[in-house]
Amino acid sequence: MQDVMAEMVHSTAVHALVTGATGGIGRGICFALIAQALRDGLAIHISAAASQPGERLDALLHDLRAAGASAHGVSGDITDAAHCAALVAQAQAQGGDLTALVCNAGASGPGRLADLPVAQWDRTFNLNTRSAWLLAQAAYPALARTRGSITAIASMSGLTPHPGYGAYSAAKAALVMLCRQLAQEWAADGIRVNTVCPGMVRTPLTEAVYQDEATLQQRQALVPLGRIGQAEDIGAAVAYLSSAAASYVTGQNLLVDGGISDHMLGMIPGRPGKPPVGQTEAA
């Protein structure tokens, strides 16, 4: 065990494959990984994965290099098994053995289970759950050699039912269990597997919602910490779980939601020790 710890602590380089890297949370994760590596005195290579090449990916790579990392882009459809294997192969060819796989790519979409199209159900699971398994399979040999880590981005919607998003909630719940299962099966190989469940996060994708001041205030009021999350909050959680500081952490889910998930019961009118609604305390 001491030899394993020494190997992790004295590793001189990090190579992280991050899917969904050009999105708000994906960018936050990439920069947090760079900051963590620099603090640890490690060189870092980022394999930034997107669904397709283009200006957004090129701009991200420029910014990652400016921040102190070496970086290259890979692209493909992570709902396709062959593409998942190719993404990992491309990353390995450019940056050597992976030390960290971050499965961030995913998408939600409204739909009631009573009339949800089967095709939407399948795509939701393929994108949010199946892809993580396929990428993990492809990365397994390298991660076993480096005793690396996998971190998948789930959602608070995977821990609590989200009416109107039945396929998404079910897929993210399955992702959490998939990672717990992988953590148990691959622990003997030194591979750690964890998930991060974001709450409400302000990103370019959600920014339109927060441009309405009333909606912003209402949402902030629901969060015990009093603010909407930022991509950097999620990135910091991933950077920790991918680092040597979390070398004894596996099979865990880190809920990063400002306390909102545990606050639901606090929103029920009539607090303990207070008079019922419509009554006043006796003088």
Q: Is residue 53 part of a domain?
A: yes
Would you state the pLDDT for residue 263?
87
Catalytic hit among 140, 168, 210, 248:
168
Q: What digits encode the pLDDT tens for the residues 238-269?
A: 999 999 999 999 999 999 999 999 987 777 77
Q: What is the CATH number of the domain that holds 23?
A: 3.40.50.720
What is the rounded average pLDDT of the residues 125-131?
97
Range of the domain at 105: 2-201+231-258
Q: Is residue 186 part of a domain?
A: yes
**Band of pLDDT at residue 281, cut at 50, 70 and 90:** very low
Q: Give 145's contacts (C-beta < 8 A, 6+ positions apart).
A: 97
- Average pLDDT over all residues of the chain: 91
H/E stretch holding 68 reads: none
Ramachandran assignment for 153, one of left (phi > 0), alpha (psi -120 to 50 degrees), beta (any other): beta
- Quote the tokens at residue 132: 């993580």
What is the rounded average pLDDT of the residues 115-125?
96
Q: What digits encode the pLDDT tens for the residues 140-175?
A: 999 999 999 999 999 999 999 999 999 999 999 999
Would you state the pLDDT for residue 65?
98
Q: How far apart are the first and last CA of the chain?
A: 65
Q: Is residue 170 part of a domain?
A: yes
Q: Is 210 a catalytic residue?
A: no
State the greatest distance between any 2 C-alpha atoms of the chain, in Å, as a whole number: 77
What is the rounded average pLDDT of the residues 192-209?
93
Q: Is residue 214 part of a domain?
A: no
Q: Is residue 273 part of a domain?
A: no
What is the rounded average pLDDT of the residues 186-209?
95
Distance CA 75, CA 55 (A): 13
Residue type, 87: L
Q: Is residue 80 part of a domain?
A: yes
CA angle 233, 240, 204 (to 5 degrees): 25
How many Cβ atoms sit within 10 Å of the Cβ of residue 228? Answer: 20
What is the rounded average pLDDT of the residues 87-105?
97
Q: Is residue 166 part of a domain?
A: yes
Residue 43 has pLDDT above 60, yes or no: yes
Q: Is residue 87 part of a domain?
A: yes
Of the listed ranges 134-143, 199-208, 226-235, the one predicted with least confidence = 199-208
Q: Which residue has the tokens 């993580």?
A: 132
CB 76 within 8 A of CB 51: yes
Q: What is the pTM of this model?
A: 0.90
- Quote the tokens at residue 170: 């079910």
Domain count, the chain: 1
**Band of pLDDT at residue 130, cut at 50, 70 and 90:** very high
Residue 8 has pLDDT above 70, yes or no: no
